[in-house]
Amino acid sequence: MDFFDKLIIPSSGANLELLKYLLSLALIIFSIYSGVLLASLILSFIYKITASRKNNNNYFKLSKDYIGLITPNKTMTLGLGVVPIFSIILIYIQILNKVNNDIILFFIISFCVFFLALVFIYLYKFTLIPVEVQNNENRTKRINTIAGIAGIVFLMASLRLFFGLINLSSDSDNWSFTGGFFDIVFTTQAVIKFIQFITISFSISATAFIVKYFYWDKFEENEAQDYSDYAKKINSWLALGFAFIQPFILAIDIYATPDKLMNSGSFLFGMLSLIALLIFMHLSYAGVRYNKYQSISYSFYLILLAFTFIILKDQSALSLSSRQQILTLADKYGQFEIALLEKEGKKAPQVNGEEIYKAKCTACHRFDQKLVGPPHKEILIKYLNNKEGMVKFILNPVKVNPEYPEMPNQALKPKEAEAVVEFMFKEYGNKLK
């Protein structure tokens, strides 16, 4: 871990908070891409085997179209796969700085296995040959089969480990983790979340197939009608079937999540995901029931939105558990900044508690009146002999009184919070009697 710590550039609390938003964005991109890649690879391999056994060119065409769905070129793989996962690892190195754990090492392993899987996937794609020439190309056929199996195995292992680590690191109690691969991937939550990831990925892949080939690319005009009808029908059922079980998995996931990792954001994103899924299933069923596949193209954005909300729901747990770590790193950055200024012969900027108080606190609080939040008189009396506790609350607010909404995090540095508390007691201390 000392090697990874040397890669860290000290960051302020604001920068670390920004990194969490970038982490969510990178996770959304990578989760969608890797999920579609895995699902389309599995479907392609299944139809490739079926085409060989039944000597059916339509099945081969379907196999080829599946693998081409998300791998049209290496630039897409680099931009939507390699760069996001690498960025995610760098952000976790930053957030988990100075924490004694093996999580980062396992992240690096998952990245290496993912990269190896990509090599086999592209080898599989480039060696996929039509049914009529397979008998004359036995060597190519064997390479294709081996590459397909290896691609599925390595990609599955990589994503299993990666999302197991994402789940593990969402709880700060696990940051001292020193276990092995099986301790990461076989926890109850890790299993539930990976099943959720796999199933919704199949639904997205099937929907994307219809949208890409029959509406964006207008593929139908150049294809036999029997292939077109079969491809639309099978993918519609796949999309609907895998989406149908999502609400149940979502309910189990929320039930299995510890209470300390749940907040209002978790329930909000969970509810939004459920709504998007229900509308998606309604449109998908209309496509299957009435052969109106145009409605499925509209639902494509809904299933992407549902998956995005699921990821944001899970990321809200990391936001909760990483608050103290962010404050610790921000405090160290403040000390680093002061030391750097002193080294250059400059004075550290003075923190003005009064200015911060007027800018951050007066919008929601009054001294002896209820506004959005409770009167400051009540708060100061509560923390009269515990100023340190008041500082901690300002830095990491939690809902205490059900009569008032939860106080939003003001993103203050520890020194700023201390200055605010000192000002409040100096300003109002004589009025507490």
Cα-Cα end-to-end distance for the chain: 53
Residue 59 vs residues 14, 51, 65, 336: alpha-carbon distances, Å: 53, 5, 10, 62
CB 274 within 8 A of CB 247: yes
Instruction: Kindly indicate the confidence band of residue 363, based on its pLDDT and cuts at 50, 70 and 90.
Output: confident
Q: Does position 337 have pLDDT exceeding 80, yes or no?
A: no
Q: Residue 251: enclosing H or E segment and its boundaries?
A: helix 246-256
Q: What is the pLDDT of residue 266?
A: 87
Rounded-to-integer distance, Cα 270 and Cα 267, Å: 5
Q: What is the mean pLDDT of residues 341-360?
A: 70
Q: What is the mean pLDDT of residues 292-306?
A: 84
Is pLDDT at 220 greater than 60 in this prediction? no
pLDDT of residue 118: 96
How much is the pLDDT for 138? 76
Q: What Rg do the C-alpha atoms of the chain give, in angstroms?
A: 27
Using alpha carbons, list the distances in angstroms from residue 325 to 90, 92, 312, 328, 424: 16, 12, 20, 5, 26
Beta strands in 89-224 (DSSP E): none
Q: Which CATH class is domain 351-431?
A: mainly alpha
With a pLDDT cut of 90, the percent of the chain lying above it is 36
- pLDDT (tens digit, 9 = 90+) per residue, 255-271? 988 887 888 888 899 99
Q: State the pLDDT at residue 159.
A: 96
246, 384, 362, 373: which is closest to 302 by C-alpha? Answer: 246
Determine the Cα–Cα distance for residues 275 and 385; give it in Å rounded to an integer: 48
Assess whether pLDDT exceeds 60 at residue 1: no
Q: Is 376 helix (H, G, I), strand (E, B) or coil?
A: helix
CB 316 within 8 A of CB 265: yes
Is the pLDDT at 374 greater than 80? The verdict is yes
Which CA distances in Å does 431 have to 305, 337, 376, 426?
52, 37, 11, 10
What's the average model confidence in pLDDT over 219-228?
65
59-68, 128-137, 217-226, 330-339: which has the highest mean pLDDT? Answer: 59-68
What is the rounded distance in angstroms from the CA atom of residue 41 to the CA atom of residue 29? 18
Residues 94-135 pLDDT 10s: 888 777 568 888 999 999 999 999 999 999 999 888 766 656
Q: What is the mean pLDDT of residues 208-214?
A: 87
The domain spans of the chain are 2-325, 351-431
- Kindly compute the dihedral angle of the four CA atoms of residues 352, 323, 86, 43, in this order, to the nearest 10 degrees: -140
Q: How far is CA 61 from the centre of its chain?
A: 33
Alpha-carbon distance of 361 to 20, in angstroms, equals: 25
Q: Are residues 161 and 271 in contact, defined by beta-carbon separation less than 8 angstroms?
A: no
